[in-house]
Structure 1
């Protein structure tokens, strides 16, 4: 069964990809040197062969002229041919009848070619021929002399080329081996920062310690890679620190409602087991206890939802769209009224278009209204306003409560922060931190001030966008 033709290249590709970068660089360096040596050998061989051939041809022409001069003086049939020296030059005279004369003891030359016979008959002045056979190759020069022609030949000697090729082979092997060693050394030195980077990454993976930065060394791409990984480690450290703080703060915030819930439930169970539930807890006390349990469960549910929102961070599947912020404000106010019917919300909103995530923005506005509702007196509404100031959409939520102390202002939007005056009020301290995160994600900013009614004024500025349709409408609720 024949093997598919594409199987071998695929196997070679897999083998190559399985090699280390150091091995690849070594192979590439050795291959590049081998190719360079081969190309240099080919070019040098051609140049050397051409030079030797030109020298041999010039020598043959000079010898032919000497022999032709003698043949013209003495005649081609009587000219005295030089004795064969045993090697090197060979001579021959072509007579008018086509026969030949050669020195005694000289090896036989190839038969006279038809082109050489035409030179002897006067058809051409001279002729340079190259005769390559399986045994010996000859370079033969034919020159017209009197009524015939003379020929001077030389055995084509390839030994200089062969010796040169052998020398180039040895040099090539030496260069390939040296290139492989140099490539290995250069690869090892160049990849040393990568090796240290790999060791540091393995150490971080094994120890889970993100505090140690990788030394910033090397240059170019390697330095940028190290800086990127150091930046990634710093981001991971910040993320781990944030997770740890979130877990600690969440455990602290969950402790109080869970403890209260557990004590109330244990009280009910203990009284029920004794059979004294009806006598020990009158109907009014039981109702108050059950209401407390319901409030604690609701508080836990709210805290769990807010913890989930905070833990998600900026990760959201909600897409950004062009929307009218007034619609978001109206929807948030409606939700606030349904959740706390005793809180009055006064809306004064103007259509302002923004690019954002509607659900996230609605949650932020709802948290602002909920926060103001905790402080606003029963006879005073929470005022919610939306207007445009140039290229900015301005949201303002204020109450008629006691306001925010100056020492608490810088930490109002911090996660789990609750002022001393808010310890007895329901809440987790996460609502305004969620507002801050949503505003940051939309490129806006928050501010805290005192309202004209003496309470707190929370302001949010968001970048406005061009309206989808011309014209604006004002809605007051």
Structure 2
């Protein structure tokens, strides 16, 4: 429809312009012919006389002739159709007021183009019909050509549109098939060119990302099921033991107070472990999706808050802080969780008389956070997998934990365009280092109110 409309408008405009040019050209040619015929008749009449000149009979078509005599009368060839009355301007030409005159009379059904030329004591007039038939024939031809062009343009436009949109139709069908079958392994054939090819490639990239996401989700579910199996089995066995002994009425005799206390403590520890594992699984499963907004924050405040939480959760842990103010753009809760996981991990390995050391400083355009302990350190064979989900070194399997803490740390650091590394500390334990891009601190404004200086960030 667009192609047909464009062609129709183009043909209409071309017809208008061509008609005007053709009409102007025909008008100029007719006027030139009338002037030439008038000069020939005027020359003859000046030699013979206006009243005595022999006017040729009217041939039935073509030009018309009229002689204006000095007394105001007129002469016309025999059989010639009557011309419109002599106009006042033409009378003035015959009286010598003007040399010639070109006038058009289109008010009647038969319009005439009349040229008046001074000749002797009068004037001679040569006229012709204002024939619009050439313009009409030209318009009819343009109309037919325009209709053909519009029909052809519509057909060609539809063919081109359908050919160009065929890959889109196939792409739509493939997308519907994927939505119905949930089969993300079927790539859409890369065809077409330009924008269509880029669109297909983008959709294939999206399908690949969805495949990776589904695969990661499946692996997470499998790993979670594996990790939950052991504590759930242990918890169920202990609870079933208590229920069975209670039903038999032998709970007090079969389980002395000391054993019962130890069993209840084990149950509490298993429930706490399950709660921690569930929270870490939830946090890990959310991936990068978070409602927390990014803001400009001082990492020193985040580290202090994480250390406070670590002390409240494990009162026996000792944390030595050596921090300076370093500003970054990030999510405070996510960063605090990452620092807390590092401190908790270090607290598991650090001896009771050795504190976990946490240092924060600025190095160039980076904020560097280091957490080290005085434990046995991480074996070189375990370093490549220390940030994998659910991975626990052979020596760490007897300790509480899920193997998700450091994985969450790496995810948070990656989301903040940073990096995390593992090394051996000077005390022989593990040294985990987080490096984040630093940001310029906010401007500090000093206010003097009622004689009191206040510094505001």
The normalised TM-score by structure 1 is 0.89
1:77 match: 51
Alignment of 1:268 onto 2:242: yes
Shift of 1:223: 2.6
Match of 1:256 among 205, 224, 230: 230
Partners of 1:347 and 1:193 in 2: CA distance: 62
Q: Which moved more, 1:460-469 or 1:430-439?
A: 460-469
Match of 1:303 among 277, 287, 291: 277
Query: 1:4-63 CA distances to partner (integer Å, 9 max, x unpaired)?
Result: xxxxxxxxxxxxxxxxxxxxxxx1111111111112211221121112112211111111
Match of 2:143 among 158, 164, 169: 169
2:258 match: 284
Alignment of 1:67 onto 2:41: yes
Alignment of 1:109 onto 2:83: yes
SS in 2 for 1:191: helix
2:16 match: 42
1:209 match: 183
1:17 match: none
Partners of 1:396 and 1:326 in 2: CA distance: 12
How many aligned positions are there? Answer: 444
Query: 1:161-219 CA distances to partner (integer Å, 9 max, x unpaired)?
Result: 11111111111111111111111122122223222222222222122122233333333
Shift of 1:131: 1.1
The normalised TM-score by structure 2 is 0.93
What RMSD over aligned residues (CA atoms) do the two structures have, in Å? 1.7
Shift of 1:72: 1.8
Shift of 1:269: 2.1
Partners of 1:149 and 1:233 in 2: CA distance: 93
Shift of 1:440: 0.9
Partners of 1:269 and 1:124 in 2: CA distance: 135
Shift of 1:469: 6.0
1:453 match: 427
Query: 1:273-295 CA distances to partner (integer Å, 9 max, x unpaired)?
Result: 22222222222222222222211
Partners of 1:420 and 1:359 in 2: CA distance: 31
Match of 1:443 among 417, 426, 448: 417
Alignment of 1:121 onto 2:95: yes
Structure 1 unaligned spans of 5+: 1-26, 471-477
Shift of 1:139: 1.0
2:449 match: none
Partners of 1:399 and 1:359 in 2: CA distance: 24
Alignment of 1:424 onto 2:426: no
Partners of 2:275 and 2:368 in 1: CA distance: 31
1:23 match: none
Structure 2 unaligned spans of 5+: 445-457
1:54 match: 28
Q: Which moved more, 1:222-231 or 1:426-435?
A: 222-231
Shift of 1:142: 0.8
